[in-house]
Amino acid sequence: MRETATTVGTRTDGDVMSWEIEGFTASLTGSSRNTADAYRRDVTQFGDWAHRGGLSGPSELDRTTLRRYLAFLNTRGFARRSIARKAAALRAYLRWAHRTGRVETDLSRTLRAPKGAARLPRVPRADEAVALLDDAVAAPAALDDPVESAVARRDLVVLEVLYGAGLRVGECCAITVGDLDLDAAHLTVLGKGSKERRVPLNAPAIAALREYLDVARPMLANAESPPDLVLLNRRGRPLTPRDARRILERHPLDDGRSLHPHALRHAYATHLLEGGADLRTVQELLGHTDLATTQVYTHLTRDHLKAVYEATHPRA
């Protein structure tokens, strides 16, 4: 179900001013912009629903009202995954309201919603990922225009870092020169919740970064370009996640299928596990706080092992 402001009856922010949603949103300093925007929408929708039900602010909330809201979402046909996210936004709001003295009791502890089933994008096989990167490596040399060649070198960096270091697309776009230590072959990443981690860089990614920084980035940069940001678009502005998605569209797999940038992160995790890496190591590399988040990849490796077994064992 497509979510819009009118899906659950949201009118205007003026209807829910007493819920102080702007103050809550401003408190989400450790969250990404996308998360903060989603939480703001979710809590605004809840505030409007509660306002229409006669509640004037968070101090009038109780457990029954919260359970009624989740039941309301279910009757409106929202997917379990969407309801789970809206419940997470409400828990964050309720914790903030309690912490700032707007409610006496922390109701977030009792708010439960069904967890959405983990849905992973289709992951390219290892040979498909290698072929995609090999094509990207060859692209700059085939271009006569220096700007187009610079763009191709930048595209190669994006692909190599997404697959070779397992970064989220937002983390990739935010890389600064100071985050890189190419001599030591590692990259420092500021991930979700402002959690910092250090990930290794493989030789192809290092080579792509060196060539891009030496040759391509100066071709794309201008006087208004952020001096420390690594990845720039054609106009010298910061590369965005949307730009990264377009890069993947320009580099489809051999069967013509285009990948989402996150599919390369999933491929990174899956191929590490298939190669024998232990789950906790992959957890650290991905920057997951909870091991259970990393465990969703294990079903992919089980499918791989089953296929190998059925293809090779004489009694399979």
Q: Is 192 a catalytic residue?
A: yes
Specify whether the CB–CB gap between 51 and 9 falls below 8 A.
no
In a domain, 275, yes or no: no
| Encoded tokens for 94 | 């309720």
Q: Is 288 a catalytic residue?
A: yes
Instruction: Answer yes or no: is pLDDT of 103 > 80.
Output: yes
Active-site residue, selected from the candidate residues 168, 217, 251, 271: 168
Note whether 58 and 164 are same-domain residues.
Answer: no
Structural domain containing residue 100: 13-110
Q: Is 297 a catalytic residue?
A: yes
What mean pLDDT is predicted for residues 198-202?
94
Note whether 61 and 159 are same-domain residues.
Answer: no
Note whether 176 and 250 are same-domain residues.
Answer: yes
pLDDT of residue 41: 93
Q: How many domains does the chain have?
A: 2
Query: Percentage of the chain with pLDDT > 70?
Result: 86
Give residue-wise pLDDT tens across range 253-300.
Answer: 888 888 999 899 999 998 998 888 888 888 889 888 877 777 777 665
Note whether 255 and 134 are same-domain residues.
Answer: yes
Active-site residue, selected from the candidate residues 85, 153, 251, 265: 265
pLDDT band at 111 (very low <50, low <70, confident <90, very high): confident
Instruction: Answer yes or no: is pLDDT of 307 > 70.
Output: no
pLDDT, averaged across the chain: 85
In a domain, 106, yes or no: yes
Alpha-carbon span 284 to 197, nearest angstrom = 8
Contacts of 266 (CB under 8 A, 6+ apart): 120, 121, 123, 297
Which of 90-99, 195-204, 207-216, 305-314 is least confident?
A: 305-314
pLDDT band at 219 (very low <50, low <70, confident <90, very high): very high
Active-site residue, selected from the candidate residues 51, 91, 102, 288: 288
Instruction: Answer yes or no: is pLDDT of 3 > 50.
Output: no
The 3-state DSSP class for residue 314 equals coil
Note whether 88 and 36 are same-domain residues.
Answer: yes
Instruction: Answer yes or no: is pLDDT of 114 > 70.
Output: no
Pairs from 186-192 (Cβ < 8 Å, separation ≥ 24) = 187/161, 189/165, 189/287, 191/287, 192/31, 192/32, 192/35, 192/168, 192/287, 192/289
Active-site residue, selected from the candidate residues 80, 81, 192, 245: 192
Amino acid identity of 261?
P
User: Tell me, what CATH number does 222's domain have?
Assistant: 1.10.443.10
pLDDT band at 118 (very low <50, low <70, confident <90, very high): low
| Encoded tokens for 5 | 């402001």
Task: Looking at the chain, list the stretches that DSSP marks H as alpha helix, in order from N- to C-terminal side.
Answer: 21-26, 33-52, 63-75, 80-99, 126-138, 146-165, 169-173, 203-211, 217-220, 241-250, 261-274, 279-286, 291-295, 298-312
In a domain, 37, yes or no: yes
Alpha-carbon span 157 to 213, nearest angstrom = 10
Q: Is 212 a catalytic residue?
A: no
What mean pLDDT is predicted for residues 135-153?
93
